Amino acid sequence: MPIDYDDARRLLNHGFQSLTDRLLSGEPHPTHPLSRRFDALFTSRTQSYREVLLGCLVARALDASINITMPYAGQGPGSFNGRTLDERVVNPFLRQNDIPCSRGAYLAVFRRSVSLSPATRQGLRDKAGFDALLSILESARTHTSEGVRDDVLPYALYQFWRLREESRVNLVIPQRLSLQQLLTLSDGLLKTRSGGRVPVLLTVALLRTLKDFFQADWEIEYQGINVADAAKGKAADIEVRSKGATILAAEITERAVDETRVRATFATKIAVQGISDYLFVLSGDAHIDEVLRRQTQQYFAQGHEVNFVDIRRWMEVTLATLGQSGRAMYVSHLTSLLGEASTPKALKAAWNSSVNTLLAATS
């Protein structure tokens, strides 16, 4: 049966991005009645089996009339071209998202025109892995296309997500980036739903760049995402210290900053800890309530300056001012932060994908 490969790409990309967004936002990891079968398949020594599964699930999700036990065109009624689906959709999807995968065609593990049925089991070395594959495929065959899209395929994508989290993702580090290229990459990262991680990393990289460029005696401390400032005795997400004193506290926010929030921040952090310079770094849909203009003047009169800056504009002006050497420092600091073990693999993969797309467009 013919498959619309554009639809197949959209199905995988949307499903994986939606899953990643949910997990980075702190939602619980999904469960499934066939979780043991999935675990057996994804720990199998034959990684092609899990890639075959993905191709079959995509085919079934697009067309319930497809016989997913016949992945070779011309095998019989309902058969489909699994090799082309792999070459055009499945393998590029896995590589684009830095998920460990086979270098060649996933069907190469089988002899030509083999059916995915118990009769094939006898000639295979990895019978346990193949049994797990057959069990999941049989479950998929009992589902409608909608059922596969809503139930089996999402859990398979979660297993691929887990696989990437357990693997090593090497960052692509370009030798040289123009200001516009660097802003394009940063814009791409900022559009990635990260639970607030991206703007924190971008801000820390920018502050570290300023420290190195001007050889400042700063100590830059930042804390994990969703860690309560008060619980850690911190004034903000990021603190810049000089000679033991906090000279700048920066709060990274992706939501609106209104008078109520600023008053609470002043009462619980700024005034209590004697912070003279407090900065709200705005990202995403964050914006400023104009009432704050008058409010912050009252704080200034009391010896506390509260300012607001849009992260994208701040980056553009700063990196334009620091020149090529400053931008090289920034790339070094940003990729160092992205490369840390605590950084989710999804963000590393998002960076790699953006860099590869950018380089391909300029080659």
- Both 63 and 190 in one domain: the answer is no
At residue 211, does pLDDT exceed 80?
yes
At residue 292, does pLDDT exceed 90?
no
Pairing of strands 277-282, 238-242: unpaired
Taking residues 137-159, what's their average pLDDT?
96
The parent domain of residue 342 ranges over 179-362
Taking residues 200-213, what's their average pLDDT?
97
- Both 240 and 146 in one domain: the answer is no
CB 220 within 8 A of CB 208: yes
pLDDT given at position 186: 92
Closest CA relative to residue 222, chosen from 206, 242, 246, 240: 240
Residue 172 lies in a domain: no
Taking residues 143-156, what's their average pLDDT?
96
> CB-based burial of residue 185 (10 Å sphere; 0-12 exposed, 13-18 middle, 19+ buried)?
buried
Distance separating alpha carbons of residues 162 and 21, to the nearest angstrom: 14
What are 342's two structure tokens? 């605590």
At residue 271, does pLDDT exceed 80?
yes
- Both 183 and 330 in one domain: the answer is yes
Residue 173 lies in a domain: no
Taking residues 266-275, what's their average pLDDT?
91
- Both 191 and 297 in one domain: the answer is yes
Residue 261 lies in a domain: yes
Most confident of 30-34, 102-106, 271-275: 30-34
Q: Give the confidence band of 104 by pLDDT, cuts at 50, 70, 90.
A: confident
Distance separating alpha carbons of residues 303 and 297, to the nearest angstrom: 10
pLDDT given at position 297: 81
pLDDT given at position 231: 44
Over pLDDT 90: what percentage of the chain? 73
- Both 153 and 266 in one domain: the answer is no
- The alpha carbon of 67 is separated from its chain's Cα centroid by a whole number of angstroms, namely 34
Residue 101 lies in a domain: yes
pLDDT digits (tens, 9 = 90+) for 305-354: 999 999 999 999 999 999 999 999 999 999 999 999 999 999 999 999 99
Apex 238 CA angle, 234 and 242, nearest 5: 90
Q: Give the confidence band of 224 by pLDDT, cuts at 50, 70, 90.
A: low
- Both 20 and 70 in one domain: the answer is yes
- Both 19 and 132 in one domain: the answer is yes
Q: Give the confidence band of 1 by pLDDT, cuts at 50, 70, 90.
A: low
The SS3 call for residue 70 is: coil
Taking residues 195-211, what's their average pLDDT?
95
- Both 156 and 207 in one domain: the answer is no
Taking residues 195-217, what's their average pLDDT?
96
Q: Give the confidence band of 39 by pLDDT, cuts at 50, 70, 90.
A: very high
What are the phi and psi torsion angles at 309 (to 5°)?
Answer: -145, 135
Provide the mean pLDDT of the chain: 91
Please identify, among 165, 198, 213, the residue that sits at the C-terminal boundary of a domain: 165
- Both 338 and 189 in one domain: the answer is yes
Pick from 98-102, 216-220, 314-318, 358-362: least confident: 358-362
The SS3 call for residue 241 is: strand
- Both 132 and 187 in one domain: the answer is no
CB 103 within 8 A of CB 48: no
pLDDT given at position 291: 79
Residue 194 lies in a domain: yes
Apex 223 CA angle, 222 and 228, nearest 5: 130
Please identify, among 165, 199, 222, the residue that sits at the C-terminal boundary of a domain: 165
Q: pTM for the whole thing?
A: 0.85
Residue 170 lies in a domain: no
Over pLDDT 70: what percentage of the chain? 97
CB 227 within 8 A of CB 252: no
- Both 93 and 223 in one domain: the answer is no
Taking residues 91-101, what's their average pLDDT?
95
- Both 145 and 249 in one domain: the answer is no
Residue 348 lies in a domain: yes
Residue 171 lies in a domain: no
At residue 289, does pLDDT exceed 80?
no
Most confident of 265-269, 315-319, 357-361: 315-319
pLDDT given at position 284: 81
pLDDT given at position 230: 46
Please identify, among 165, 200, 216, the residue that sits at the C-terminal boundary of a domain: 165
Residues counted in the chain? 363
Q: How many domains does the chain have?
A: 2
CB 42 within 8 A of CB 50: yes
